[in-house]
Amino acid sequence: MLLLEVLTIDPGELRRYAEIYGDEAEIFLRDDGKGALVLCNGPVAAGNSEAKSLKKLFDGGRFGKSGGDWLFCVALWTPDDYHDEFLAWYQSEHLPILLECPAWDGCRFLEGKVSSGCQFYALHQLSDKKALDSQDRKRSRSTPWFKRLAKNGWFDGAFQRTLYRRFSQT
């Protein structure tokens, strides 16, 4: 999967990305108006060296075009030593709790190559951005496993979170 962060919100320029990457392309506008995110399958198009080629590790729920119009992208870096534990926590505890929220539609969990440590991206799709304030999300962040991982400086507070809304290409 390709992930491309762009600074433009110009509808014409965003439609050109859709033309480049085809029908599979999903485009989301940053909620703060400072750019957009293009997601698609396939090779990096010529001239887009900033696109990140990522490997899907797991998913859950409804995502992609069948998922909600809100995308909550979380970039998560971990040290190599925590790779397996972090993935186990996310896949077996954190994500299942989030998916109990009716407005938390689904998630694709991706990994990208970096020079040190592990770089992950959780692409959560929501039918309502109020899911971010839900009791299920609060519960997912208060378990003993979460609290144990939170003792590490790289965990939680260091993660980059960005909220997007689906761009209508018509």
Q: Which helix (H) or strand (E) covers residue 90, if one does?
A: none
Examine the pLDDT at 43 and tell me if it is beyond 70: no
Q: pLDDT tens for residues 92-125?
A: 999 999 999 999 999 999 999 999 999 999 999 9
* String of DSSP letters for 91-132: IIIIHHHHTTSTTEEEEEEEEE--SSSEEEEEEEEESSGGGG
Dist. CA 90–CA 66, nearest whole Å: 22
What's the whole-number mean pLDDT along residues 129-153?
A: 97
| CA torsion through residues 91, 97, 100, 105, sign | negative
Contacts of 19 (CB under 8 A, 6+ apart): none
Domain boundaries, the chain: 2-44+53-166
Examine the pLDDT at 73 and tell me if it is beyond 90: yes
Q: What integer pLDDT is reported at residue 119 of this predicted model?
A: 97
CATH architecture of 2-44+53-166: 2-Layer Sandwich (3.30)
User: How does residue 17 score in pLDDT terms, banded at 50, 70 and 90?
Assistant: confident
pTM confidence score: 0.93
Q: What integer pLDDT is reported at residue 10 of this predicted model?
A: 94
